[in-house]
Structure 1
Amino acid sequence: MRLADVIDVFIAGDWGNESPSEETPNAVYCVRGADIVPISIGEFGDIPLRYVSDKSFEEKTLRAGDMIVEKSGGSPTQSTGRVSYVSEALITEKGAVVCTNFCVAFRVKTGWNPYFVYQYWNHIYNNNIFFNFEGKTSGLKNLQLDNALKAIEIPDYTLEQQNRIAETLLKIEQKVLLNRAINHNLPILDHSLRAVEVRHAA
């Protein structure tokens, strides 16, 4: 079983326009490669607002469970192929979401748990597998996505097995996000408590 076997459809990206026009009246939030890491930790605030045509809006708007892959970019120490998961939380907060044309989105086939596939893709990425599937044009690295999908294996687990694994990984991720939020707010809480102490001392 290869990664290519689990993908149902690809959704091309669209950078759109900065302002609305007759040709591009539809507001969307456009996920870039730079947004992949923030999205993974539940931070959606910097995703840019763009405007796309009716055709792009109809064909390229993503839904929960879709995945966005960075196909161009990377660095000497970071390969292309980073993946972002389109969560219910992202859709709820931002509404209509597309990906930029330096990325491509995909949707998995029935019988595959999207979150399981997302986490497996992350596992492959973190093991530097995508360095083996890169070309370079004008100084920009490009992921040879078709070659990667046809070559990289994925375990042929039953949907029940996938669901169990996905549920466990999701619980772990939620705990990590909660701990990060607590740690992020500790300095603010500490500052507030010190201010209260100063006022009481006065």
Structure 2
Amino acid sequence: MKLADIIETFISGDWGEETVAEDTPNSVFCIRGADIVPITNHCFNGIPQRFVCDKTIENKTLKAGDLIIEKSGGSPTQSTGRIVYVSEDLIKAKDNVVCSNFCTAFRVKTGWNPLYVYYYWQNMYNHGAFFNFEGKTSGIKNLQLDNALSAIEIEYLPLENQNQIVAPLIAIDEKIKVNRQINDNLLLLDHSSRGAIVRLAA
């Protein structure tokens, strides 16, 4: 079975406009390639706010469980094809979320756990699979997504087995998320304490 066989639908990107206007009255947060690593690290603060038309809100707003792929970008040592999972936490934090034009999103078919697909894709990416499906336009690397999806195989497993594989990986990610939140809180506390010491010294 190929990756192409498990995708229900694609959701194209929309960069929108910087300011609200009559034609683009809807506020969204637009995920770029640059946001993939922070979102993976459970940091949502840097996602830019944009404004889009009603049609984009209707057809391109992402849901929890969607997967976003970086189509353009990369570097000599980093291929295109990075992936990020749209989590419930992200939707709760940002409400209306879309991806940018340099990305595309997709939803998997019934019978597939999107997190299983996410971890599988991430593993393929880490092993350099997507270097084989790149072209260049004006010096920018572009992922030949259709070719990649038609070529890369994924083994079908019953949903119960997929869930069993995903469960420990989710637990690890949750621990990383909690540790990062603790570190962030400690940094804030440290800065506050230093500020109080400076004020007292003054």
Per the shorter chain, which TM-score range?
A: over 0.9
Matched, 1:63 2:63: yes
Residue in 2 that maps onto 1:109: 109
Write out per-residue CA displacement over residues 71-124 of structure 1, whole angstroms, 9 at most, x where no aligned residue: 000001110000111000000010000000000000000000011111111111
Distance 1:8 1:188, change over 3 A: same
Secondary structure (helix, strand or coil) at the match of 1:117 reads helix
Report the Cα distance in structure 1 between the residues aligned to 2:51 and 2:189, rounded to whole angstroms: 39
Task: Identify the residue that residue 177 of structure 2 maps to in structure 1.
Answer: 177
The whole-number CA distance in structure 2 between the counterparts of 1:155 and 1:130 is 18
Once the two structures are aligned, what percentage of the paired residues are identical?
63
Counterpart residue identity of residue 67, structure 1: L
C-alpha deviation, 1:183, in angstroms: 3.3
3-state secondary structure, aligned to 1:156: coil
For 1:116, give the aligned amino acid.
Y
Where in structure 1 do 4 or more consecutive aligned residues deviate above 4 Å?
Answer: 187-197
CA drift at 1:194: 8.2
Q: Quote the RMSD (CA, aligned, Å).
A: 1.9
Instruction: Provide the aligned length of Structure 1 versus Structure 2.
Output: 199
- Once residues 56 and 194 of structure 2 are traced to their aligned partners in structure 1, the CA distance between those partners, rounded to angstroms, is 52
Q: List gaps (5 residues or longer) in structure 1.
A: 198-202
CA distance in 1, matches of 2:42, 2:21: 31
- The TM-score with structure 1 as length reference comes to 0.92
Partner of 2:200: none
How high is the TM-score relative to the length of structure 2?
0.92
Mapped partners of 2:102, 2:196: distance in 1:
49
Q: CA 1:194 to 1:56, structure 2 compared with 1: closer, same or farther past 3 Å?
A: closer
SS of the equivalent of 1:45 reads: coil
C-alpha distance in structure 2 between counterparts of 1:11 and 1:168, whole Å = 29
Give the match for residue 200 of structure 1: none
Q: For the residues of structure 2 that align with 1:17 and 1:84, how far apart are their CA atoms?
A: 23
- Shift of the 22–5 alpha-carbon distance from structure 1 to 2, 3 Å rule, reads same
